[in-house]
Structure 1
Amino acid sequence: MELFDIFLSYISRSTFITIFVLSWLSIYFILTFTILISRTIGLNSWIAKESKALDSLLLGAKNSNISSVLKRCATTNVSKTKLDVCLSIAEKDSTSGLTWLSIIASTSPFIGLFGTVVSILETFSKMGSGNAGLAVIAPAISEALVATGAGIFVAIPAYTFHLLIKRKSYEIMSILRRSADVILINSANNES
């Protein structure tokens, strides 16, 4: 209960800007984990499905029952251009969410810093009223720095998750490129 009391005390002393900044960073934090969980689950199942489809192609199956992103491109008149278009669409799909993670990772520290600067400015404006002692200023500046800490706290997982999802995207695209190569080879062999 003591931690909750500390939190309530902090909120009661905070300004509108500080609460706004911390709320904004909280939304960013929730969004970061939502993107991570949804993209990781989706990409892991996609990687498993495409790996099975590639294995099926490598074993010589002409018409695999396993659905692949490239299957719709390889039905009739297989061409490198057609497969490249499908690969491009798959790359766009596999990297969805990365832009938001990048935005969150790069802007969170600045949002936190903004909250800190505004709080410190308000603290210095109070110094003019005659209460300029260290006992008054130190706690106010300490509380102001919470916003910067929160911004960094949000940015670290966002950047980490950005890299993790980017790696998963690379894995899926690698499998799809190999599958496209096998499809082109099989198509050339069938035409011969």
Structure 2
Amino acid sequence: MISTLLNYLANSSAITYIVLALLSAYTVAVFWIFLYRNSAINRLLSNEKRSLEMLTSGQGRFSPLSLLNQCSNGSTSKEILHACEISIIKDASVGLSWLAIISSTSPFIGLFGTVVGILESFAVFANESKVSFSVIAPAISEALVATAAGIFVAIFAYTFHQILSRKIYELNIFLKAQSEILVAKG
């Protein structure tokens, strides 16, 4: 496996290196964004869930760790609470657009690498009088590595985007529920 990879890299062009380097940077970015944002959103979810439980259990007060409490400064004004909800959700969703961009562009970057690899293979084959399938197949399969790498990155970026979007949706529900309770209590 390693010898195949080293052989692939030894026979690759500059475009292939650029495509694989960009997709590697995308992979690092995807995992970094997910790990960083997932832990931050989980913390927010935990705090807001605890605060909602305190409000619904009859204690009638926010958790001191609630961002809604910190933002509204104890106000029960519907407008202020709504503005705080928007601000918290905006801050929680930082990085999601990058995951969406990466999930949609990485397959195209991989496809670009594949097309260039195939064109380079055909340019080499043009100088030979007879080319058999046994010569063409390895060259084309090597070119397809870039597409596979692009799809690999896109799968993780899209999956992580969906996971974080769902958690932000849950956070929004907790914030809205708290706001409704506070406005109802006056």
For the aligned pair, the TM-score class normalised by the smaller chain equals over 0.9
Mapped to 2, the partners of 1:139 and 1:163 lie a distance apart of: 36
Mapped to 2, the partners of 1:94 and 1:58 lie a distance apart of: 24
Matched, 1:181 2:180: yes
Mapped to 1, the partners of 2:128 and 2:3 lie a distance apart of: 29
Q: Taking structure 2 as the reference length, what is the TM-score of the superposition? A: 0.92
Mapped to 1, the partners of 2:138 and 2:40 lie a distance apart of: 46
Instruction: Report the alpha carbon displacement of residue 83 of structure 1 after superposing the two structures with TM.
Output: 1.0
Mapped to 2, the partners of 1:96 and 1:81 lie a distance apart of: 23
Out of 124, 127, 131, which is 2:125 matched to? Answer: 127
Is contact 1:52-1:66 (8 Å) kept?
A: no
For structure 1, the 5+ residue unaligned runs are none
For the aligned residue pairs, the C-alpha RMSD in angstroms reads 1.6
Bigger mean CA deviation after superposition, 3-12 or 72-81: 72-81
Pairs aligned (count): 185
Which residue in 2 is equivalent to 1:35?
A: 33
User: For 1:55-106, what per-residue CA distance to the aligned partner results, in whole angstroms no more than 9, with x for missing partners?
Assistant: 1122343544532111134435531111111111111112112101101110
Change (3 A) 1:159 1:136: same
Matched, 1:79 2:72: no
Q: Taking structure 1 as the reference length, what is the TM-score of the superposition? A: 0.90
Counterparts of 1:1-192 in structure 2, within 5 Å, are 3-75=1-73, 77-130=75-128, 132-134=130-132, 135-186=134-185, 188=186
For structure 2, the 5+ residue unaligned runs are none
Instruction: Report the alpha carbon displacement of residue 4 of structure 1 after superposing the two structures with TM.
Output: 2.1
Instruction: Report the alpha carbon displacement of residue 149 of structure 1 after superposing the two structures with TM.
Output: 0.8
Is contact 2:64-2:70 (8 Å) kept?
A: no
Is contact 1:115-1:144 (8 Å) kept?
A: yes
Percent identical across equivalent pairs?
A: 43
